[in-house]
Structure formats: structure tokens, C-alpha cells
Amino acid sequence: MHLKILLVAVAAVASLMAANAQQGPPNCETSCGNVNITFPFGSGEGCYHSPDFLVTCNRSSGEPIPHFRQSNIVISNMSTDKSEMEIMAFVGRDCYNVSGEAGYKGSSLTLRDFRISAKNKFVAIGCDTHAYFSGRRGNDSDIGSGCISTCGRNSLITNGSCSGVGCCEVAVPEGLSKMPMLLDWAIGNLTCEEAKGTNNFLCNGNSECDQDYDGPGYRCRCKEGYEGNPYVANACQDINECDRGIHNCEHDSMCKNTNGSYTCKCPKGFSGEGRKEGGTGCTADESTLIKIVVGISTSAGFLLVFVTWLYFILKKRKLMMLKEKFFKQNGGIMLQQRISGDGSSHDQAKVFTIEELKRATNNYDESKIIGKGGYGTVYKGVLSDNRIVAIKRSKLADQTQAQIEQFINEVVILSQINHRNVVKLIGCCLETEIPLLVYEFIPNGTLSDHIHNKGKSSAITWEIRVRIATETAEALSYLHSAASVPIIHRDVKPMNILLDDNYVAKVADFGASKLIPIDQVELATIVQGTLGYLDPEYLQTNQLTEKSDVYSFGVVLVELLTGKTALSFDRPEKERNLAIYFLYSLKEGRLFQVLDEHLQLTDVPSEIIQVSRLAERCLRVKADERPAMKEVAIELQGILTSMVQKHPWVQNSSNEDEGEYLLKELTNYECTNDGNVSNVSSSTFDSMSKHAILPIASGR
């Protein structure tokens, strides 16, 4: 099938009307149906520029329909700013009838001063379709184009679009005079320059001739910054770019409208063009810049101060809430009630704040650390009253309510202990997750430091060692029997025996201690302590008694005698456990071979034999066979007294008060057959008078 659309264009010079008809009489129709009629178009006499722009409004069918000139071509829209007119084009058809014969129906259109817009598309729809169009441009005729569409069946055609199956399309050559939907138009056949010299030139006022148009005639357009009908005098009105937001100013407030344009006014104190692009922008004047810098700096400083203040306020509030939480959690209220309800005259445990202890230790500086152990770290601190103290920070551990109650009870009791050989508990701090304990400061380190350090052990003579053992035994005896509630230390070892500058012993570190209820002799507990010092019976039965401390003290006596540590895997296997090896050597008569070489002995004094025999009794496996701590203290007091009487030079000027103390405090006792201890009136006491002396080897 062949479909042919013939488009014929006739170029003619339009007759011109008078210049005073540019706007038309005031009674001209401005619309027909939905289409606005604007000059140079018009529907009545004197309302249009020339007959080519005549619009006929057909009202015969009820709804007004605008027609192009006096033809049946319907106008659907018209534009003066683009010089375009949209019409309803005819459709050419070539269809088969029932007998199979094709019926061709083409169309043609003759236009004056109107050209086909290049925006149009020529479209053919159907299977087996050969469509083309032709026309002429200027003096050139038979200019055309076309396309071919084939397909097997009509069902392949897609309605509403041209996908390439059952349809085809081709662009319309620019300037071709033919039947289109969109028409380009211009005024007359004179160019802009030629028309300017005539009396009816339409581009006046704020409109100008379109220099970009190169077709026949001329076109008008509103100047930049104006809009409206450029073919009507004074119809191009100023566009307010500021109100419409189509300006290039940095801010809307800076935009100021002018006729046909706008300016960007910088605010007070600034100069420049104030445009985003293509301009210098607004630059602050020197004085303004200084004010801005000062203002910003002041605001920033104020904001920084405020934020910092708010941060510290919130942080302080959080810390206060956290301290209050820990204080209650650690039994602080309970401790305060116990202290306030106790009317006794002895020293009370002081409850320190966390700030007090931070100041005392320079915020727990590492240089203040004086010891570390299994239960925590000990710091040296100076309180506000210049007292030097030792502050113990325990390691983190979960605590039950029962444990907290027991801890508070221990703090109260330990703070009431006033024994010259027990480190004084001054108070505690409950504002941390794990409570801090504050003790009196003992300056000369631990017993372990002195007997296991080659540089210090020679200064610890045998006489000093006996005195340290005696003072330690007295302290443990006091804890077991003289305290308001009996206390089992549970971790007796040289590390927990402190020495002052005069080598006076101070029992310390009650982190593992247990209070013994008055109605109980034994406590079932989880085994705690240090390997090498643990009571073997306690290790097997979990039954903690006062005799457990006696066993540990026996190991301390052996360390004082031998200068060796309680447990060492660097020694031969049979010597690893010091207590077992010592008992074996004592039984085999080789005591002299295991004694500390720093004692510088040529033979074994009787006091060493007595102390060794006492250590053997303390180290017995069965707790019932061990002496009580009170009995141990009495025997050591007797040994020390005999040494003082035999060697008066033992007392030097620094220890005279201690010798006097021992002589004054020494009460004479004797051991009865049932194992108890009773006072005697004798002025001397021989602690070994009722025991046989083991044979001793004569040399190393």
C-alpha cells in the first residue's frame, strides 16, 4: 500500500495594515473556546495584523471553535512569544475495502507566511505501509521525505506509541511548507533591518526584533527581563526576578528589582556585586570584618565556656550519682549507723571521700605504689592532716549482700583493734565500686623483703628474728583470743608482716581474714590463702580454725630460720616445699645444714633448737596436735627473755623501750598436762624444760 500526503505551500506577500491597528480596537475578541486570541491574530475587522492572521470563531456547533482564517483547519493553541501556532492536522488514509480494493485519501494544505515547524514528526501506522510527504521551501519544490512500515499482522501494532513494529516516523525538514500540527509564523516578508524603516514595524517599546530568526519576514520578542506580547506596543512588562527567585544573588534579601533586570545589593558594612557566580560577592569592610571576627570569637568563646561548663556539671552530677550508688551498694549507710550507734570511746573508723584519697595519692600516681598483691594494690598517701597512710585498692570482685554486711562488720572491728603489732585500720572509702581501705603507714617494707633479699638479710640478726617472731605471735594471739570478736587472719606469711624503722613487726593485710562467731569454733569456707602456707587439714576439709593460722606461722618460723621461700620450683624436687624439707632435715639431724647462712653461726645455739622444735609442733598435720597461738607467743617470749638476760648487748639504744616492754609485759605461764596454759609465780620460764632436744649435726 502507498499513502501519499501532498502539502502545497504558496508564499505570498501579506497585505499590511495601518500602524494604529497594532493593538486592535478595544472590542476585539480575546478568546474563542479554550484558545486565547492575541495580536497579531484577531477575529474581527481591524483586530488582526493581516488576513494571514485572521481567526474565525465558529459557534454553529455550540462550543466555539477557532479556525485558521476561513478554512476548516482548527486552531488548538497559539503563541506570540515563540511565534508558533498549533493546529489540528488532517490524517491521510489508505485502507482496503471488503472487496480488497485500496481506497486512498490524502490531504493537502496551502499556507501563506506560515512554515512547518521542525518540531513536528511525520508518523505512519500500519502493516505494509509506504508513506511519504512532499512540499516546497521557497523556490524549491518537491521536497519531501517518508518511511516504510511492515509487519505480519495488525495485532503487533502497539497503540499509543511507535516502537518500530507496525509504525514508522521521520523528522520534518525545517522550513518545509506542508500540513503540520505546529506552524511557525512571522510578520510579512521583510527582514528586521528592512522592517524598522516602515511605519507599521511592530517591535516597539520593550520588544525587539529577533535577530536569531533567519526565515522570511521578521519576529518580535520581549527584551531580556520582560515578558508579554511583543507585537503589541508596551505589552512587554518587567519581570520581577526577586519575587520569582530567578536571580543570581547570594540571598533573596539582597535582590533589588530594576526595569528589565535586577541588582544584588550587599548589606550594610559590605561591598561588592553580591552575586553567586560571575561576580565578586559581598566583601566585608575592614571595620565590619573586625566586628564580625570579634563577634564570632566572643560567641565561640562563650559557647565553648558554656559547653565546657555544662559538660563538667553533667560529669560532676554523674560522678555524684555514681558515688552515691557505690556508697549505698558497699554498705555505707550501714557503716554510718554502726559508727553512730557505738558510744565507746575508742577510735572509730573514718569514712573518707574519694576526693580525699585522690589528693592523698596524687590521683593514684604510679610513683605512689608501694606494693602489689593478689588482693590489690597499695599506695602511699598523705592525708590533709599530714598523716602518712597506706591506701589499699582491692581487685574487682562480685559481692553479695551478706559479704557486704560482713565487710562492714570487719571494718568496724578492725578499726577498734589497738595492738602495737597490728597495723591500724584508720578508715575506708565506699564511694568506689570496690571499697578502699586506709591503714597506718609502715615505712620499712615487709619481712619477706628483708629475709629473702641478700643485701638486707645479713642485717636481720638472729635476735631480731626472734623478736619479730615473738611480736607476730603476740599479734595473732591477740586476734584469736583478745579481740572483741575472734579473727582468723587466714593469710599469715612474711609478705603480710610489715617492719618499721626499728624492725618492730606489724601484722597487716586482712583481706582474707574471717571473723569467728562466738558460738562457733570452726568455719566452713572456700579455701583461700597462699600455697606453701596453707594448712593441709584446712585444704582437705575446708574447715577454717585458729590452728590454720598456727600452721602458717610455723612456715614463717621456718623462713626466719632458713632464709628460704616457702615454695620454689627452682629448687630440687625434695626441697621445693620448705616446710616438708625442714621437718625432714630436723628429723634426720641435719638442722645446721638448712639454717640461713647469713646467721653466720659456727654452731647451733639452744634458742635455735627451741624455735625449730616449736616450728615442728606448729607444722603438724593434725590441727589438734598444734599449740594454740597464745601458747606459741608465750614460748617465744620466754626464749627472747632468756636471750636478753644472757646477752644484754642485744638491746641497743633504739630498742631499749622494746626490751623494757617485753620484760614488763612478760607474764609467766606453765603448760599443764591437759594442754592448757596457767600463770605461775616463777620469775623465769624455760620453754624447753618439758621437751627432749633432737640431735643436731655438728657441722655443715
Distance CA 533, CA 580 (A): 11
Angle, alpha carbons 24-110-108 (nearest 5°):
140
Q: Which long-range contacts (CB under 8 A, 24 or more apart) does 302-311 make?
A: none
Is-contact 631 671, C-beta < 8 A?
Answer: yes
Torsion angle of C-alpha atoms 459, 463, 469, 471, degrees rounded to 10? -100
How many of the other CB atoms lie within 10 Å of CB of 83? 24
Distance CA 543, CA 338 (A): 30
Q: How far is CA 598 from CA 454, 459, 465, 594, 629, in A?
A: 8, 9, 12, 12, 28
Distance CA 293, CA 168 (A): 69
Q: Which of 547, 472, 549 is nearest to 506 (CA)?
A: 472
Distance CA 393, CA 366 (A): 13
Distance CA 107, CA 178 (A): 10
Beta-strand ranges (E) seen in 214-272 are 220-222, 226-227, 237-238, 255-258, 261-264, 270-272
Tell me which of 52, 238, 491, 535 is the catalytic residue: 491
Residue 199 is given by DSSP the state: T
Distance CA 560, CA 689 (A): 23
At 445, phi and psi to the nearest 5?
A: 80, -165
Q: Helix, strand, or coil here: 645?
A: helix
Distance CA 111, CA 10 (A): 6
- Beta strand 182-185 with 84-87 is antiparallel
Distance CA 413, CA 515 (A): 9
Angle, alpha carbons 582-588-591 (nearest 5°):
50
Angle, alpha carbons 688-694-699 (nearest 5°):
120
Q: Is omega for the bond preceding 486 within 30 degrees of 0, making it cis?
A: no
Distance CA 41, CA 613 (A): 138
Residue type present at position 219: R
Distance CA 447, CA 458 (A): 13
Q: How far is CA 237 from CA 94, 244, 259, in A?
A: 50, 14, 9
Distance CA 550, CA 490 (A): 10
Is-contact 425 417, C-beta < 8 A?
Answer: yes
Is 491 annotated in the active site?
yes
Distance CA 602, CA 588 (A): 20
Place of cell 557503716: 335
Place of cell 554510718: 336
Distance CA 282, CA 297 (A): 21
Q: How far is CA 366 from CA 376, 494, 630, in A?
A: 14, 24, 40
Residue 574 annotated as part of some ligand binding site: no
Provide the grid cell at 365.
Answer: 600516681
Provide the grid cell at 91.
Answer: 490524517
Q: How far is CA 646 from CA 17, 241, 651, 684, in A?
A: 155, 119, 11, 13
Q: Extract the annotated binding site for ATP.
A: 392
Would you name the residues annotated as active-site residues?
491
